[in-house]
Amino acid sequence: MFRTKVTKQLNGRRREEVRALEQLCCAHDHIQEGVLLNTQEDQPTYFLCYEEELLVGLAVMYQIGSDAEICGYVHPDYRRRGLLKKLVAAVIKETEKCGVEEVRYVMQPHPSQVIEQFVSEGFFVYEYSEYLMEWRYSYELQSGGNLRIEKTDEASRQELARLLRDAFGMDEAQIQQRIDGMAKEQCIYYGAWQKNQLVGAFAILQGEDSVYVLDFAVDADYQGRGIGKEMLKELIYAVQKQAKDSGKEQMKIRIQVSSQNETAFRLYQKNGFQVISQRDYYQVNWKR
């Protein structure tokens, strides 16, 4: 007899249970994933499925505005018993209370008969993949001096918002929400100026041994002029210089890109970035 508990808080014992199930499933499926055990205000919702006292299934829902993303794990010994469907149904029921319009299931690709069945039945519809790429060279770059890379400030925020809005096809409110949200995550936006014109931008999230590049964009009027390549070169040079000045070994430089953005993927690939992981996104086409 299975029972499902929905919670936003995990005590010490439950956190250990979640980590143990995650590690077991990742080892079984030969994948590298990670459930975000967030303690911040915007924490996810956890759906814990037990058989007696054993945690045999888990789903985690992250709400992003009117959208939600979910990931899930089912104990290898309990698969093909309808547990994942039970968990996804519980998520859908919860989203009805939250004003969520679109739900996507996110997974690192690996052979899964359950997912294949969901796709064949139309419950899951593949949408796109997201790649994490890493700069794989160790030699030092030098600044080309053709662009001026600086942190953006309040004076340049409106210009930054315009560039990002045009690049990502969002409206004004969505972009402002995006910029504010990135600030809360301690991401810093940098602008690329050619003379006094903002021609590109990107955000940096600093980790202990890695730097993550987000929202990389080139102004539409300046595309096709090598600006993107020059921006990548300048940001790599800046990261290398920062690591050297702080006495650290060379920092890993990572960037995310969607399979829907073939131009950006080719740009990164041609300039030394290689795919190190992949996540597939499926639209959940569940009857509510």
Q: What is the pLDDT of residues 181-206, one digit of tens each?
A: 888 888 999 999 998 899 999 999 98
Residue after which a domain boundary falls, among 67, 96, 130: 130
Residue type, 148: R
Q: Tokens for 6, please give them.
A: 């929905």
Inside any domain, residue 185: yes
19, part of any domain = yes
How far is Cα of residue 137 from the mean position of the Cα atoms in its chain? Answer: 23
- State whether 6 and 121 are in the same domain: yes
Are residues 141 and 192 both part of a single domain?
A: yes
- Examine the domain organization and report whether 96 and 36 are in the same domain: yes
Counted residue by residue, the chain has a size of 288
Global confidence as pTM: 0.83
Low-confidence ranges of the chain (pLDDT < 50): 39-41, 288
Contacts for 113 with CB less than 8 Å, ≥ 6 apart: 79, 80
Cα radius of gyration (the chain): 21
Q: Is residue 283 part of a domain?
A: no
280 located within any domain? no
Identify whether residues 78 and 141 lie together within a single domain: no
* Phi, psi (rounded to 5 degrees) for 18: -65, -45
User: Residue 284 to residues 123, 197, 226, 287: CA-CA distances in angstroms?
Assistant: 6, 43, 39, 9
Q: Same structural domain for residues 198 and 244?
A: yes
The CATH number of whichever domain residue 210 belongs to comes to 3.40.630.30
Q: Residue 209 is which amino acid?
A: D
Q: Identify whether residues 114 and 223 lie together within a single domain.
A: no
Q: Do both 122 and 69 map to the same domain?
A: yes
Helices and strands in the chain, H and E counts? 7, 12
pLDDT at 41: 45
Same domain for 144 and 101, yes or no, is no
The answer to whether residue 285 sits within a structural domain is no
For residue 281, being part of any structural domain is answered with no
Q: Is 9 inside any structural domain?
A: yes
pLDDT of residue 80: 85
Which range marks the domain in which residue 34 is found?
A: 2-130
Q: How far apart are CA 97 and CA 184, in angstroms?
A: 26
Q: Are 112 and 8 members of one domain?
A: yes
225 & 243 share domain = yes
194 & 75 share domain: no
Whether 78 and 51 have beta carbons less than 8 Å apart is answered as: yes
Look up residue 127 and give its amino acid: E
CB atoms within 10 A of CB 260: 11
Domain count, the chain: 2
User: Are 124 and 148 contained in the same domain?
Assistant: no
277 domain residue, yes or no = no
CA 120: distance to chain centroid?
Answer: 26
**For residues 106 and 23, what is the distance between their CA atoms, to the nearest angstrom?**
17
What is the rounded distance in angstroms from the CA atom of residue 54 to the CA atom of residue 179?
42
Tokens describing residue 192: 């690329």
Residue 53 Cα to chain centre, angstroms: 33
49's tokens? 């499925």
